[in-house]
Amino acid sequence: MVKLVSAIALAATAAVALAEGLPSRQEIRATMRRVADWQIVHQPQVRWGATNWTNGALYVGMLDWGALAEAEEKDRAYTLWVEGIGEGCGWQPAAVRKGAGKNSHADDFTVCQAWLRQYQRLGGKGRLEPTRKRLDGILKDPPKCKLVEQKNWWGTLVRWSWCDALYMAPQVWAQMWRITGERKYLDYMDQEFRATTEALYDKEERLFYRDCRYFPDAPENGYAHREANGAKVFWGRGNGWVVAGLANLLRILPKDAPNRAYYEGLFKELAGRLATLQCADGYWRASLLDPESYPSPETSGTGFIVYGLAWGVNEGLLDRAATLPVIEKGWAALCKAVEQDGKLGYVQPIGQDPKKVTREMTEVYGVGAFLQAGAQVHRLAR
């Protein structure tokens, strides 16, 4: 009898959770609009340049939202906003660096994801050629340094030696392959993506280190090798970058693309692991394995993870019954961090490892993550 009562109670609890579900599509769009509008109004106050990687993540989210706004409400303002920025900077990647990274630094290509999306929609060589010229320059003299170099990590930035890079650059190479049909772009992407994964993916924990400085056996270098609770250091947003980057990459690769199975497998493994690390309030913390040391919500990592999970369910790559409750909690948590005027709070500032976060903190990439997540949650809603 006790077992029967317990089973009934569990079923009732599950039914209540499912009944709560997601907001309506109209409500989701209204929240996304508030967040997007706040950011557009405040964009002139952002200190980073138009081609900076931070804004690249924003443009990707704004295009996802813009496509939704245009389809549902015949509103092209957001897509045109991105188009105007692209025209203003001549559709260029970020400027070539004089120091570490030179012409191949992954961050410098993040904006090109938006530029190439616009090319695929509208055509025009001006949207394509600046990116193509930079990629071809790399292929003529590809970097050959080691990815793992403890004493000279900054010298490895000519390659994708930090996990965030898997959001920033691979999609651009894959897009160029889809546009031109030239296999050299896909082959370079595949080679470098696999090398980064081999270097930074912990197969035991099924999570990515931010970079080799955070390995638990790294030499003393001023960076944390263990959390306060003894766990390995796995940064929330860093792994959010990767799962969102994989989703964006898989959106580009056709079903019959060479090596697609590799990326699907990695996506499902990482997404499944991240789903288990959600905290009770729906957020993922700055430290995935030591959330108690970083108790504040963190919305950029949460946004990217919700995006990845929701996209995976929408595409049939993740189990809907198991993953939908995680997405629902994550989206509700993200919305709680939105102020009445549309400002998204609890965004960890630019960094490379877990840090404390407060509600007044915001950044453009956090908004980009929110909008990417919202577009996929909208697909799930009824």
Which residues span the domain enclosing 317?
23-380
- ∠274-292-328 over CA atoms, to 5°? 40
178-196 average pLDDT score:
98
Q: What is the pLDDT of residue 45?
A: 62
Which residues participate in catalysis according to the annotation? 164
Q: What is the pLDDT of residue 9?
A: 39
pLDDT band of 382, cuts 50, 70, 90: confident
Residue 228 within any structural domain of the chain: yes
- The shares of helix, strand and coil residues in the chain, as percent rounded to the nearest 5, are 60, 0, 35
In order, the DSSP letters of 218-254 are PPSSSS-SS-TTS----BHHHHHHHHHHHHHHHHHS-
pTM, two decimal places: 0.94
* Minimum mean pLDDT range among 95-104, 151-160, 281-290, 369-378: 95-104
Structural domains of the chain, count? 1
70 and 79 in contact (C-beta within 8 Å)? yes
Six-digit token pair at 185?
């772009």
Residue 201: strand, helix, or coil: strand
- Which of 16-20, 43-47, 212-216 reaches the highest mean pLDDT? 212-216
Q: How far apart are CA 295 and CA 278, in angstroms?
A: 13
Tell me how far the alpha carbon of residue 296 is from its chain's centroid: 20
Q: How far apart are CA 287 and CA 228, in angstroms?
A: 11
Residue 70 within any structural domain of the chain: yes
Residue 17 within any structural domain of the chain: no
Tell me how far the alpha carbon of residue 344 is from its chain's centroid: 16
- ∠259-260-261 over CA atoms, to 5°? 90
Residue 3 within any structural domain of the chain: no
Percent share of the chain, pLDDT over 90: 90
Residue 15 within any structural domain of the chain: no
pLDDT in tens, 202-261: 999 999 999 999 999 999 889 999 999 999 999 999 999 999 999 999 999 999 999 999
Q: Which of 242, 314, 342, 317 is nearest to 284 (CA)?
A: 242
Contacts of 223 (CB under 8 A, 6+ apart): 213, 214, 353
The amino acid present at 161, given as its one-letter code, is S
Residue 336: strand, helix, or coil: helix
Residue 5 has pLDDT above 60, yes or no: no
Six-digit token pair at 113?
């994801």
CATH number of the domain residue 53 falls in: 1.50.10.10
Residues linked to residue 344 through DSSP beta bridges, in sequence order: 338
Residue 14 within any structural domain of the chain: no
Q: What is the pLDDT of residue 47?
A: 72
Residue 101 within any structural domain of the chain: yes
Residue 208 DSSP code: E
Q: Which of 336, 348, 363 is nearest to 281 (CA)?
A: 336
Q: What is the pLDDT of residue 1?
A: 38
Whole-number average pLDDT of the chain: 93
Q: How far apart are CA 361 and CA 217, in angstroms?
A: 33
Q: What is the pLDDT of residue 20?
A: 53
Buried (b) or exposed (e) across 308-334, using 16+ Cβ within 10 A? bbbbbbbeebbeeeebbbbbbbbbebb
Residue 8 within any structural domain of the chain: no
